[in-house]
A and B are shown apart, each in its own frame.
Chain A
Amino acid sequence: MIQRTLPAPGSLRRPIGFGLADVAVILGSLVLLALIARVGAGAFVAFVPPKNVPAISLDPRHLPYYAARSTLRMFIALAASFVFTFAYGYAAARSRYAERVLIPLLDILQSVPVLGFLSITVTGFIALFPGSLLGLEAASIFAIFTSQAWNMAFSFYQSLRTLPTDLSEATAAYGLPAWQRFVRLEIPAGMIGLIWNAMMSFGGGWFFLAASEAISVLNQQYTLPGIGSYVAAAVGAQDMRALGYAVLTMAVVIVAVDQLFWRPVIAWSDKFRLEQSAAAEAPQSWVYDLIRQSRASAALERFVAPAGDALTALLSSIKVPIGGRPFDPRRARIADRVFNVLLGAVVAGLVAAAVRFILSTVGFAEVGHVVGLGALTLLRVVVLLVFASLIWTPIGVAIGFSPRLARIAQPVALFLASFPANFIFPFATLAFIRLHVSIDYGSVLLMALGAQWYILFNSIAGASSIPTDLREMADDVGLTGFNRWRRLIVPGIFSSWVTGGITASGGAWNASIVSEVVTWGSSTLTASGLGAYIASATAKGDWPRITLGVGMMSIYVVGVNRILWRQLYALAERKYHL
């Protein structure tokens, strides 16, 4: 007999008539378009520093506009990150030679502090659009872009390298042109990882957005209308009320973006799961359900279909050589060797030029001094990680062991992780001034404000992934106290903790640039550390010191990654994989 199962109810439910869903979707789209047009126009205003600089009003009625400007920046950066990701990931996965340059480069780019990129590029961007605010706008967007693009590109590259063989063969056997293979197989297969990465780094992006809207470069204070510069202005005016409003607005924006954008996108992307069986619990989103139920989206789809077909036909005619094995392995080996030598020469040349530049301008003694500053900041990061782990791991584990608590606490931890901690800095700064706490110690707390949540979030995730039968076994054999932690909990959450630790440490290094120098009104507290060094060099536009500081931070980050995190990852993979 023919075996038949009924299709899921969802695939049979067809919307009937023109319903409320359509009204909501059409109205929502129109409002969104109008908002973008209104807010986007603000970027095209004259800007001739130092005379013509946009002023920030502390009137809370302007806050929604500022928040919208900031949010628009975030989304432009996100779009740019996706374009970059597809191009970069595709090139790296397709060409053996590109791969050998692009992937190590990605490793280095990932280690450069995001605000370091801002320091290096902001003058260039301002020069690119003389007399317009667009240059600053571009610099800010670029800073956010650098906080997202690298790990998205890496995620896409990895999914391209691990495409399921059978699917890859099927597209080859049916002769799919490169473009169709790209949109039918390669993008969908990488989609889930890509969106997850984008969402996590989008959350982190708010921090850099806030930091990049009000910056001082070349002894100049630059301001870009936005919620970050609103906070900066409030700090300058010592206006506690305005700060409170800003924090509230930011919280509303984060929740709104999550509900209106990320939830629907995640619910939509669930269909790109590679498992062939239905998932136990599919992610839900009311916005996504609304859009799916409306006929407006289906009508739009039909409307654009012919144009889509024409575009597909056009793009399908592009031929991409398949990155297959070279025909003669011996000749390929010689070509490889030549390539490696050339690449090595270029890298050595670049490093030599950088070293010469630094040594000829600031001298060897300064380099030694900066190494010491880096060690101080490293010490802060380590202290932060140790304390955050000691405090948040037990709490995270307690939450993770209770599914009901975990369901509530996990989104909260994620929210706290994406809330830009620099909005809270002024409150802490004020407390430091009043209580006479040295910023040398206080900056650890500031760095922790953002970074600690990653430890909490991953502890919860790790604890809830420990199988129930293992916990029951532990109860059964009477494993309690220290032994319970040693034998069950620590090994069980180890992988997750490593993920949390690596994210928190990256966040802390990045935050050091704004945590080691803080202001309240006219008083400025400066810690000694690498972050403060980069911040002051940027403010003065001191190129050799910017290069030295940013380079040193990259070396520290890469070094710690290689020496510590990579080993821990390998250990987690090998031994503690559940």
Chain B
Amino acid sequence: MIGTANAALILVENINKAFPLPDGKGEFTVLRDVNVRVARGEVVALLGRSGSGKSTLLRIMAGLIPASSGAVTSDGTKLTGPNPDVGMVFQSFALLPWLTVIENVELGLEARGVGRVERTKRALRAIDLVGLDGFESAYPKELSGGMKQRVGFARALVVEPKVLFLDEPFSALDVLTAENLRGEIDDLWNAGTFPAKSILIVTHNIEEAVFLADRVLVLGTNPGRVRGEVVIDLPRPHHRADERFKLLVEYLYTVMTKPDMDVTAGPSVRVPGAATPAPVKASPYARALPHVRVGTISGLLELIVESGDASVEIAHLSERLALPMDDLLAILDAATLLEFATITEGEVALTDLGRDYATTTILRSKDLFRGQVLAHAAIIATIAKTLQEKANKTMRADFFLDILDEHYPAEEAKRQFSTAIEWARYAELFEYDADEELLYIA
């Protein structure tokens, strides 16, 4: 017998990934010491919030970008370029708009030099499999989102890849279409005739992970790393009404909202108080702001007040608002950062301050907001202090952008800056002149 170690289709060993910061200011670590195994015949989900590097990890496994160190082995071969064992489905579909459905599906076959007749035959079979027969000669722009993603699946499956990589394949679709397509893919997999040996799906949707996967790997942020693994010990197909299903979803919600909690094999085993405190970072600029608009925080708080309950289940909230998990978590991050809300065991409750903030007048709510921002949003408080200390109370934006650049990749530095400005403007702490690129206190 071949040992289990050899049964791994994809083996990721000690992967690190860092991007250089602009102007040689060091590096920004995206992934640290990541180990992943995808075995033959299983569905694995990578669950993480934005910034957990889950898409980067998937692209490293697909051989689209190189790792800084460590190795990826695909079916026994070490990767040096695009992974030939993988068929990939993209979040944005990534269909070439100038090719018809069948030409898009044939793309991978053509690249492998499969002859015209054979190519057409196999492509038609794949199109049939995903329920698109009759649409071979349509162009992508004539199709709805759900149908476009069916083409994406057909294009990946037609090459009969060893592993099917799904990069948030349902998150660009509306809720009902996503539900429908997800169910069909699950049915195809459960029927045992699936054209791929394994599936690896990247997602931030907890229910989706529990529904599709046999194992869920939970990724942490700053830097991205594998926090642990939750085995979905349910018979396939996984039924949502199942009590165990609900328990697993709830457990994952708790894990996701508590970045410091240990991830154990499943909800049955709980290790209380084992959380390790996050390392304290020296610079206030390193404490990232969640990218949330001020109005959204108030909106969520008001919603909780109106619900009449002391606390609300996050899973329910996500369902009711039909908000992507990532966005909801960012809002909750902001609310907890400002001490307007607390999170316990997958539930969110308002603090007294939060209740006051949500129900008071605009003027007073601004005062409350300003106070909390100065106390807890380190970037804004530091910028405000710096401006206050200047005689003319004015600074060039570049000064702060340069500092932020030392802690974040260029794009993220800009986002941090604009979020800081949005919050500070609302709190009437300082102003920003976009024409002159100046920050000032009026």
The smallest beta-carbon distance between A331 and chain B, in angstroms, is: 14
Q: Kindly identify, within residues 149 to 192 of chain A, every residue whose CB is under 8 Å from any CB belonging to chain B.
A: 164, 166-167, 169-177, 180, 184-185, 188
Of B42-50, B104-112, B227-235, B409-417, the one contacting chain A is B104-112
B113 and A313 contacting across the interface, CB-CB below 8 Å = yes
A272 and B97 contacting across the interface, CB-CB below 8 Å = yes
The smallest beta-carbon distance between A191 and chain B, in angstroms, is: 8
Interface centre among A175, A177, A575 (most CB of B within 10 A): A175
Which among A7, A8, A170, A274 is the interface contact of B88 at CB below 8 angstroms? A170
A476 in the interface (beta carbon within 8 A): no
The smallest beta-carbon distance between A8 and chain B, in angstroms, is: 5
A175 and B97 contacting across the interface, CB-CB below 8 Å = no
A2 and B131 contacting across the interface, CB-CB below 8 Å = yes
Q: Kindly identify, within residues 259 to 311 of chain A, every residue whose CB is under 8 Å from any CB belonging to chain B.
A: 271-278, 305, 309
* Chain B residue at minimal CB-CB distance from A173: B88
The smallest beta-carbon distance between B47 and chain A, in angstroms, is: 22
B177 and A278 contacting across the interface, CB-CB below 8 Å = no
Instruction: List residues of chain A with CB within 8 A of the CB of B88.
Output: 169-170, 173-174
Q: Kindly identify, within residues 8 to 31 of chain A, every residue whose CB is under 8 Å from any CB belonging to chain B.
A: 8, 11
B108 and A174 contacting across the interface, CB-CB below 8 Å = yes
A7 and B135 contacting across the interface, CB-CB below 8 Å = yes
The smallest beta-carbon distance between B160 and chain A, in angstroms, is: 13
With A and B bound together, what is the CA distance between A3 and B175 in angstroms? 13
B94 and A3 contacting across the interface, CB-CB below 8 Å = no
Of B33-41, B138-146, B187-195, B282-290, the one contacting chain A is B138-146
- Supposing A3-B180, A278-B142 touch, asked if A305 and B116 sit within 8 A by C-beta, the answer is yes
B108 and A275 contacting across the interface, CB-CB below 8 Å = no
A408 in the interface (beta carbon within 8 A): no
The size of the chain A interface, using a CB distance under 8 A, is 40
A132 in the interface (beta carbon within 8 A): no
B93 and A316 contacting across the interface, CB-CB below 8 Å = no
A404 in the interface (beta carbon within 8 A): no
The smallest beta-carbon distance between B114 and chain A, in angstroms, is: 11
With A and B bound together, what is the CA distance between A274 and B59 in angstroms? 23
A274 and B142 contacting across the interface, CB-CB below 8 Å = no
The smallest beta-carbon distance between B411 and chain A, in angstroms, is: 13
A11 and B139 contacting across the interface, CB-CB below 8 Å = yes
Q: Kindly identify, within residues 74 to 120 of chain B, every residue whose CB is under 8 Å from any CB belonging to chain A.
A: 82-84, 86-88, 90-99, 107-108, 110-113, 115-116
A276 and B140 contacting across the interface, CB-CB below 8 Å = yes
* Chain B residue at minimal CB-CB distance from A7: B138
Q: Bits for A530-554, please: 1 = Cβ < 8 Å to B, else 0.
A: 0000000000000000000000000
Which among A5, A273, A277, A329 is the interface contact of B147 at CB below 8 angstroms? A5
A271 and B98 contacting across the interface, CB-CB below 8 Å = yes
Instruction: List residues of chain A with CB within 8 A of the CB of B110.
Output: 176, 180, 312
Which among B98, B131, B155 is the interface contact of A188 at CB below 8 angstroms? B98
B435 in the interface (beta carbon within 8 A): yes
Instruction: List residues of chain A with CB within 8 A of the CB of B144.
Output: 3-5
Residues of B within 8 A of A (CB): 20, 59, 62, 64, 82-84, 86-88, 90-99, 107-108, 110-113, 115-116, 131, 135, 137-144, 146-148, 155, 159, 177, 180, 435
Task: Name 11 A/B residue pairs within 8 A (Cβ), A-sorted.
Answer: A3-B177, A4-B147, A7-B135, A11-B142, A175-B84, A175-B111, A175-B112, A184-B96, A273-B97, A276-B95, A316-B111
- In the A-B complex, the 3 residue pairs with the smallest Cβ-Cβ separation, listed nearest first, are A174-B108, A170-B94, A166-B94
